[in-house]
Amino acid sequence: RMKVAVACALFGLVVFSSIVEAQEKKLQIGVKKRVEKCEVKSKKGDTMHMHYTGTLEDGTKFDSSRDRDQPFTFTLGMGQVIKGWDQGLLNMCEGEQRRLTIPAHLGYGERGAPPKIPGGATLKFDVELLKIERQGEL
């Protein structure tokens, strides 16, 4: 019985430490191209028109709006995209380019998005904000 109790306790510690480790990995936001005159910064509720290329840590490309020559459009902060995007694209200017490094818990988690994105994957996105549309403003 004692061996089982010790084994269970050790297993619990391993699971707990891997959860803590996963949560410690933070979203990284790198600005690749700044904009000189930025009059409008993106905020929750804005419609964003973006170009992006998504890669895995090893450089394997899994998706790109540029390949389709069609910008991706969504509403920021509404859960329409992964959490890493909703957080990483705030306060961005039209014309700005960023590189987001998104840990799995802010991306597709332990399930991934088969077949291209494995479970637990850290994602890298090169993004460019083409246009911000804001309700109530012309």
Task: Judge whether 125 counts as a catalytic residue.
Answer: yes
Q: Which of 29, 46, 102, 125 is catalytic?
A: 125
Task: Judge whether 67 counts as a catalytic residue.
Answer: no
Residues 126, 99: Cα–Cα separation, whole Å:
5
Q: Which of 29, 82, 102, 117 is catalytic?
A: 82
Q: Which of 86, 108, 117, 132 is catalytic?
A: 108
Asked if 62 and 82 touch (Cβ cutoff 8 Å), the reply is no
Task: Judge whether 102 counts as a catalytic residue.
Answer: no
Task: Judge whether 69 counts as a catalytic residue.
Answer: no
Task: Judge whether 62 counts as a catalytic residue.
Answer: yes
Residues 80, 40: Cα–Cα separation, whole Å:
22
Provide the 10 A C-beta neighbour count for residue 64: 16
Task: Judge whether 58 counts as a catalytic residue.
Answer: no
Q: Which of 29, 46, 52, 132 is catalytic?
A: 52
| Closest to 107 (Cα-Cα) out of 120, 90, 97, 96 | 120
**Residues forming the active site:** 52, 62-63, 82, 108, 125
